[in-house]
Structure 1
Amino acid sequence: MELQGLNSFPFRGHQAYLKSAPHYDFVKYRQLVHEITQAFNGISKEVIQIKDRFREVYDRCDLSEHLEKIQEMEKEKLELTARLQIAKQNVQDHPSQEMYQEEMQILKHKIIKSVEAISEVLQDFKYDCEEIQ
């Protein structure tokens, strides 16, 4: 599965989960989260191998460090996304509670900033990779 497809899959899954309100189908959603977690773990292992190759074979610690930083930032983004999903459910379950709406907006903003920061590191990585060719 391509990475963009993997990124949109959890979003669609969470939308389906929210639509199952008020009797949420948590069992199905938990299975989806489990499958996505396994996919991310597989990708993470591959990235670790690539980081090691950059460091050991190509003597390019800078590229390895870029990948490490991207992985850390993606982990933070994933945590923000999980918090956003909880906030969305809280907004849906408690529409009169303004604090949930505010939390959701704050988390959306943090995710946007996170994506921008990841894009910057990816640009640096791309630029530094051009030196290999």
Structure 2
Amino acid sequence: MASANCPAGDPNGSPKHSNGHASPLDMLRRFHKLQAERVAGYDLFEEAFNNFIGGAPEYDFSGYKQRVAEITISFKRISEEIIHIKNSLKDTHNKEEISALIDKVQELEETKLKSTADYQIARKNAADEPEDEGTRQEITNLRQKLEELAQEITDAMEDLKYESEDLYAQEIDEDSLR
């Protein structure tokens, strides 16, 4: 979670930039941690769905709904913090290219979350009506869409890595001067 005095700062008390905010590199590191949390959230989302669907035909909808609500709160917190990081990088640190790439990841992740929910709904429908060929095709299409989104996110993260190389190089230079 964000620190009280610098919302996008590292909660472990990382050094602040000369303007009192976390440095761009600290923000980028925090973004990567948040992105890892988001990936773990998808694992929890899938686990909750598998537990739910495994209970067929006596579904525990209230238990599933509760888990999804918890995961949604986590995703919302992550998203809000990433938006703050993106805006700080752009507005405070003038790192527009890095900010734009984080924004791209954010947009792709929003689409992925909606597609993941649609995929789960289609899978539940297929479990309830296994003969429905339309649902099977929908599952195939959604699985393909999720694979494409995962690749787009990977590509955007790779672009972010290359765009931010100078921040890491700057840190190495500063460390060698100490």
Q: Is TM (by shorter chain) over 0.5?
A: yes
Contact 2:38 2:75 in 1 (8 A): no
Tell me what 1:27 maps to.
62
Residue 130 (1) aligns with residue 173 (2):
no
Q: Which has the larger radius of gyration?
A: 2
**SS of residue paired to 2:166:** coil
Find 1:101's aligned residue among 128, 136, 139: 136
Residue 5 (1) aligns with residue 26 (2):
no
CA distances 1:59-115 after superposition (whole Å, capped 9, x unpaired): 111111111111111010111111100110111100111111111011000100010
Contact 2:105 2:157 in 1 (8 A): yes
Residue 47 (1) aligns with residue 47 (2):
no
Q: What does 1:51-66 align with in structure 2 at a 5 Å threshold?
A: 51-66=86-101
CA distances 1:8-39 after superposition (whole Å, capped 9, x unpaired): 11101100000111121111111111101100
Q: Which has the higher contact order (CA 8 A, sep 6+)?
A: 1
Aligned equivalents of 2:110, 2:39: Cα separation in 1: 16
Identity within the alignment, %? 32
CA distances 1:108-130 after superposition (whole Å, capped 9, x unpaired): 00100010011111111111111
Report the RMSD for the aligned CA atoms in angstroms.
Answer: 1.3
Runs of at least 4 residues of structure 1 off by over 2 A? 1-5
Aligned equivalents of 1:13, 1:117: Cα separation in 2: 25
Tell me what 2:125 maps to.
90
Unaligned runs of 5+ in 2: 1-35, 169-178
Q: How many pairs align? A: 133
Deviation at 1:3, TM superposition (A): 3.6
Q: Which has the larger share of helix?
A: 1
Unaligned runs of 5+ in 1: none
Tell me what 2:152 maps to.
117
Deviation at 1:52, TM superposition (A): 1.9
Aligned equivalents of 1:121, 1:2: Cα separation in 2: 17
- TM-score where L is the length of structure 2: 0.71
- TM-score where L is the length of structure 1: 0.94
